[in-house]
């Protein structure tokens, strides 16, 4: 019996410590009144960011309840017209929707678990109308919740077909997060995305997200057979990492991308948004920003 009590205490004490930290930051979280407003003119601003899922191991200033205002500040600073996010749980999504009243969004969670993640796309309703939207799974049966090829989790891709009101030009936008464990799942998963893209013909397109793959990978080579890496359509592409693991070396690498159609999209700027707020990383990934015009 004593052993049982010791084991129970060993389990409960860390859980209680996590709960105490979360509760400490909860009032700050609930007071968060940041509102994100989109830009009004100029090139279309597209932002992609892995916001870091909710995890009980993220304590202190890595807690979502501490970081949420920082994530919103990074979005508000960019004023994107189109925003794609990864690792968004229901907790994240409710907070983001409240802060972004001038945007519509599309999201399907990858499965039915309480902490399930999705890849939402938010878009500026003053600038775009949406003509189609949906999600599909990166598997052999994309129309249903499923996983294949050794993937750790079901992986989902979200898309919207937009029309710019000022020019009446169309733009297809895709947002995904490839598997972090199985290389085969990443390679075949990006293939599923590319197959879906082909269904929309020659529409100008932006594919964004966390590919969990470097530029020396087969996944990257498969994607860039059909698309261009947007940063290489600029005169001086930045070389810094997008995944910085809370600033830790040597885990810094580039795994987040904007992939754009080879025609129909002019790239005005690509930038890694590496701002820290009061010395704190909003996430373990830096957001990336793209400014484009439709040709």
Helix boundaries (H) for the chain: 2-31, 64-78, 90-99, 183-198, 218-226
State residue 13's pLDDT score.
44
Dist CA 92 CA 75 (whole Å): 14
Q: Please indicate, yes or no, if residue 108 is contained in any of the structural domains.
A: yes
Domain of 189 in residue numbering reads as 32-294
Q: Please indicate, yes or no, if residue 128 is contained in any of the structural domains.
A: yes
What's 162's domain CATH number? 3.60.10.10
Tens of pLDDT along 85-104? 999 999 999 999 999 999 99
State residue 3's pLDDT score.
55
Tell me if the pTM is above 0.75.
Answer: yes
Q: Please indicate, yes or no, if residue 22 is contained in any of the structural domains.
A: no
Q: Please indicate, yes or no, if residue 139 is contained in any of the structural domains.
A: yes
Asked whether the beta carbons of 219 and 190 are under 8 A apart, the reply is yes
Tens of pLDDT along 167-219? 999 999 999 999 999 999 999 999 999 999 988 888 999 999 999 999 999 99
Q: In what order do the strands lie in the sheet with 121-124?
A: 103-106, 121-124, 82-86, 44-50, 288-294, 265-272
Give how many domains the chain has, as a whole number: 1
State residue 99's pLDDT score.
96
Q: Please indicate, yes or no, if residue 7 is contained in any of the structural domains.
A: no
State residue 4's pLDDT score.
47
Q: Please indicate, yes or no, if residue 8 is contained in any of the structural domains.
A: no
Q: Please indicate, yes or no, if residue 195 is contained in any of the structural domains.
A: yes
The DSSP string of 250-266 is S--B--EEEEEESSSEE
Task: With a cut of 70, list the residues of the chain below it in pLDDT.
Answer: 1-23, 26-28, 30
The DSSP string of 151-188 is -SS--EEEEEEEEETTT--EEEEEEEE--SS-HHHHHH
Give the phi and the psi of residue 16 in degrees, each rounded to 5: -65, -40
Q: Please indicate, yes or no, if residue 193 is contained in any of the structural domains.
A: yes
Dist CA 110 CA 138 (whole Å): 10
């Amino acid at each position: 019996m004593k052993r049982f009590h010791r084991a129970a205490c060993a389990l409960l004490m860390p859980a209680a410590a996590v709960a105490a930290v979360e509760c400490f930051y909860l009032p700050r979280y609930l007071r968060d009144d940041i509102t994100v407003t989109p830009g009004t003119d100029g090139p279309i601003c597209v932002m992609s960011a892995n916001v870091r899922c909710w995890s009980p191991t993220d304590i202190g200033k890595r807690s979502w309840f501490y970081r949420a205002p920082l994530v919103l500040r990074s979005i508000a600073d960019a004023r994107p017209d189109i925003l794609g996010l990864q690792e968004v749980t229901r907790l994240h999504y409710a907070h983001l929707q409240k802060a972004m009243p001038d945007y519509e969004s599309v999201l399907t969670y990858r499965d039915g678990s309480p902490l399930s993640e999705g890849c939402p796309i938010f878009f500026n309703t003053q600038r775009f109308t949406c003509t189609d939207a949906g999600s599909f799974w990166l598997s052999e049966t994309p129309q249903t919740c499923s996983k294949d090829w050794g993937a750790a989790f079901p992986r989902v891709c979200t898309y919207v077909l937009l029309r710019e009101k000022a020019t009446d030009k169309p733009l297809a936008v895709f947002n995904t997060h490839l598997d972090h464990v199985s290389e085969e799942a990443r390679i075949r998963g990006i293939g599923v995305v590319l197959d879906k893209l082909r269904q929309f013909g020659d529409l100008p397109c932006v594919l964004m997200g966390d590919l969990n793959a470097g530029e020396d990978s087969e996944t990257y080579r498969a994607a860039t057979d059909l698309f261009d890496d947007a940063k290489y359509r600029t005169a001086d592409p930045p070389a810094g990492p997008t995944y910085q693991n809370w600033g830790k070396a040597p885990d810094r690498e580039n795994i987040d991308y904007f992939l754009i159609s080879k025609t129909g999209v002019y790239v005005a700027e690509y930038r890694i948004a590496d701002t820290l707020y009061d010395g704190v990383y909003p996430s373990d990934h830096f957001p990336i920003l793209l400014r484009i015009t439709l040709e």
